[in-house]
Structure 1
Amino acid sequence: MESLNSRFRQATRRRGHFPNDQAALKVLYLVIRSPIANRTNVTGRTTGWKIALNALTLFYGDRIALN
């Protein structure tokens, strides 16, 4: 989790500012989907995503579209 948090901070710092919230979410989505070379999960897939998504929908259900 700490490495992902670090990657989020690094991506937002490089970008500078965002015109709206949707632009910031797009950058964070791309950070999540981009693979890391020294990662143990070389496929670049996030494990346990359904559990995390279920927890996020409890708090931010009106913001998350489950497609």
Structure 2
Amino acid sequence: MKIEPSLLAIFACPVCHSPLRADDGAAELVCTSDSCGLAYPVRDDIPVLLADEARRPGSDTRGTGKA
């Protein structure tokens, strides 16, 4: 997963607006908020920052990111 550090510094969770961190092993950007924690997929090095595409921690399914 190739995401420029300068871009990662400005990305925020679209649901709670907390910063995101990269999880290279899962190819996801993960919300740093303890109350939210949604994981957004990165496909072809492009982050998909849509709540409907996010998954909750510990879940294997997408589309559970509705707040």
TM-score, structure 2 normalization: 0.23
Greater helix content: 1
TM-score, structure 1 normalization: 0.23
Decide which structure has the larger Cα Rg and report it: 1
